[in-house]
Structure 1
Amino acid sequence: MEYRKLGNTDLNLSVITYGAFAIGGNMWGGNEQKDSINSVRASIDHGVTTLDTAPFYGFGLSEEMIGQAIKGYDRSKIQLLTKFGLVWDGSNKGHGEHFFDAEEAGKAIPVYKYTSKANVIKEVEESLTRLQTDYIDLLQVHWPDNSTPIAETMEALEILIQQGKIRAAGVSNYSVDQVKEARQTLDIVSNQVGYSMLNRTIEHDLVPYALENNLGIIVYSPMERGLLTGKYFKEGQLKNNDHRNGYFQQFDLKKVEAFLATLTPLAHDKGVSLAQLVLRWTSLQPAISIVLAGSRNAEQAIINAKSMDISIFPDEMSFINLALAKI
């Protein structure tokens, strides 16, 4: 495993970071809690010291399972990353910005973006309880909330840093302009954004800004929620309540399948899976600090962790990028 310093902090994070969205179950067709907890522990046992979660994932369930999974490990050697600002239980009392309606047990649940100072403080206490810890290593705004001034949200994060409840603050899904505005109040250290072989828009603005301003970039969906593993094209069938049924339709699936077929011989030559090759490619892109990879069981977790053992040589990188240009 490789480890990288995040921004100007003393946080030394594992480049492959455990992404805990899927183990929450909601939007992913459910989950098996025992398998999920074992996947977290297998990740830690194979050098993945950094775990990224959020209250919204499973409506608290993901954080609770992370808290259970890290029992018995040295907390000082594990970095817990979580978020705030997506409210689903009505505690915003009519405030905030409606985001979308999630589905739970066949029932529509309105989800709001809400990042007021009072809500930040409230959510952190709830996360600390679920995670069974007394501090969070990196706390991130989950999504920009247009109903709350960015400065107000940053002021709340600064208070939490002073109180020792969080070690550092970051954002997620922020534009470069929003990052700049946030940094007028607080020196946020990272921006967590979607990035993959199929989604490289951040290369135009966020990557250059990050390189020039010592901002860490945390990448989610590097495998496009499993599409770039190639399994979808072999198995194809997803549960009806799996959000990926709609998510995958944004891509030209025939071109994606052809691209993966082009990469398959290279993966075979290296004795690795497509998923591992994709994760390693992502980790080697400019300005990328860490890469989130989710897993449903211990086997998948170990495969993700071992992706950092792969070497991609310059001629192989050129081959991959040339194939990407054809998508």
Structure 2
Amino acid sequence: MEYRQLGESNLKVSAITFGAWAIGGWMWGGAERKDALEAIRVSIDHGVTSIDTAPIYGQGLSEEIVGEAIKGQKRDQLQILTKFGMRWDLDKGTLAFKSKDNSGKDIDIYKYAGKESVIQECEDSLKRLGTDYIDLLQIHWADVTTPIEETYEAVLRLKEQGKIREAGVCNYNVEQTKAANSVVKLASNQVPFSMVERGIEKELVPYCIENKIGILAYSPLQRGILTGKIKPGHSFNEGDTREGNRFYQPENITRINAFLDELRPMAESKSATVAQLVIRWTIERPGITVALVGARDANQAIQNAKAINVKLSAEEIDYINERLYKLQLV
């Protein structure tokens, strides 16, 4: 595994980090707890020392599973990343969207990051994770009802108290990142980035490079479509929100698979899967520190971790990029 410093912080994380959204079940159509626990433990065995979760993933379930998985592990050799600012148990801030929990009950999700809420969420996360500190605490989505300065003053207090090691943001644009960074030096910004979703490269990546802020790229496999395993007519489990996603429209599935077919010979020449090639490409992009990759079972986790062994030459990266830039999605 490769380990990279997050910005100018003291935090070193594995270049491939375990993304724990799917194991919470919520919005992914269910998950098996036993498989999820095994996936995390096997990831750690293969050098993945960093795990990214959030309270909203399964309304606490993902954090609880992570907490159970890391029991008995050497805590100082792991980096636990979690978030705050999405409440399903309180109607403050702005309504983000309506959803259902894992039992099918209707819930309203609010974006809220008032000072008292940040502190309370941190305490709740510490309990669910079974730890006395969080390595990286991040706001999940911007809360327009609370000044960023107020939110990050609360985060700064938590850092001073030793309850968190470093502060980050998620889904923040350049202006929002600047505001938070003026209160507490940010280690990172976690944003969506993949071969087919590269919008951050225009403004955010240059800003983060210039200001020495790490970037955690989530959904680098675009929620599975860049594995090449999802074909037109794919059947999704109930509750899986990928079905209505733009990238999963039949024509886009066809176009993306045709593009991946062009990469397949390169992957095979390296005894790698297409997904492993995609993950390696992602962490080679300028400004990208980490690829967050989810796994629902041990086999997926092992395959993700082994992507670190793929090596790409400058010429091979150019070959991929040339074909990628010709890919047009509807």
Q: Deviations over 1:206-242 (max 9, x none)?
A: 1111111101101100000000001111782211321
Mapped to 2, the partners of 1:130 and 1:124 lie a distance apart of 10
2:92 alignment partner in structure 1: 95
For 1:211 and 1:86, the matched residues in 2 are separated by: 28
User: Deviation per CA, 1:111-169, whole angstroms, max 9, x where unpaired?
Assistant: 00000000000000000000000000000000000011000001000100010000000
- Listed as ranges, the gaps of 5+ residues in structure 1 are none
Q: How do 1:42-121 and structure 2 match up within 5 A?
A: 42-90=42-90, 94-104=91-101, 105-121=103-119
Greater Cα offset, 263-272 or 200-209: 263-272
Q: Helix, strand or coil for the counterpart of 2:223?
A: coil
Residue 184 (structure 1) aligned with residue 150 (structure 2): no
Distance in 2, Cα, partners of 1:313 & 1:98: 46
Aligned mates of 2:212, 2:99 — CA distance in 1 = 35
Map of 1:125 onto structure 2: 123
What RMSD in Å do the two structures reach over aligned CA positions? 1.2
Residue 234 of structure 2 aligns with an amino acid whose one-letter code is: G
Q: Distance in 1 between matches of 2:238 and 2:136?
A: 34
What amino acid maps onto 1:228 in structure 2?
L
Find out whether 1:200 has 2:198 as its counterpart: yes
Q: Which 4+ runs in 1 deviate beyond 4 A? A: none
* 2:218 equivalent to 1:215: no
- 3-state SS, counterpart of residue 232 of structure 1: coil
Q: Distance in 1 between matches of 2:230 and 2:290?
A: 25
**Residues of 1 paired with 2:18 and 2:324: CA distance?**
26
Per the normalisation by structure 1, the TM-score is 0.97
Task: Measure, in 2, the Cα distance between the counterparts of 1:64 and 1:308.
Answer: 28
- Distance in 2, matches of 1:159 and 1:240, equals 41
Aligned-pair distance for 1:18?
Answer: 0.3
Aligned to 1:294: 294
Bigger shift: 156-165 or 178-187?
A: 178-187
May I ask how many residue pairs the two structures share in their alignment? 324
Aligned 8 A contact 2:49 2:78 in 1: yes
How far the C-alpha of 1:249 sits from its partner, in A, is 3.8
Structure 1, 106-115 or 231-240: larger mean CA deviation: 231-240
1:230-269 map, 5 Å: 230-233=228-231, 236-247=234-245, 248-249=247-248, 252-269=252-269
What is residue 172 of structure 1 aligned with on the other side?
A: 170
Q: Measure, in 2, the Cα distance between the counterparts of 1:15 and 1:279.
A: 10
User: Who is 2:307 aligned against?
Assistant: 307
TM score, norm. by length of structure 2: 0.96
Q: 1:200 to 1:215 in 2, by over 3 A?
A: same
How much does 1:252 deviate? 2.4
Deviation at 1:290, TM superposition (A): 0.9
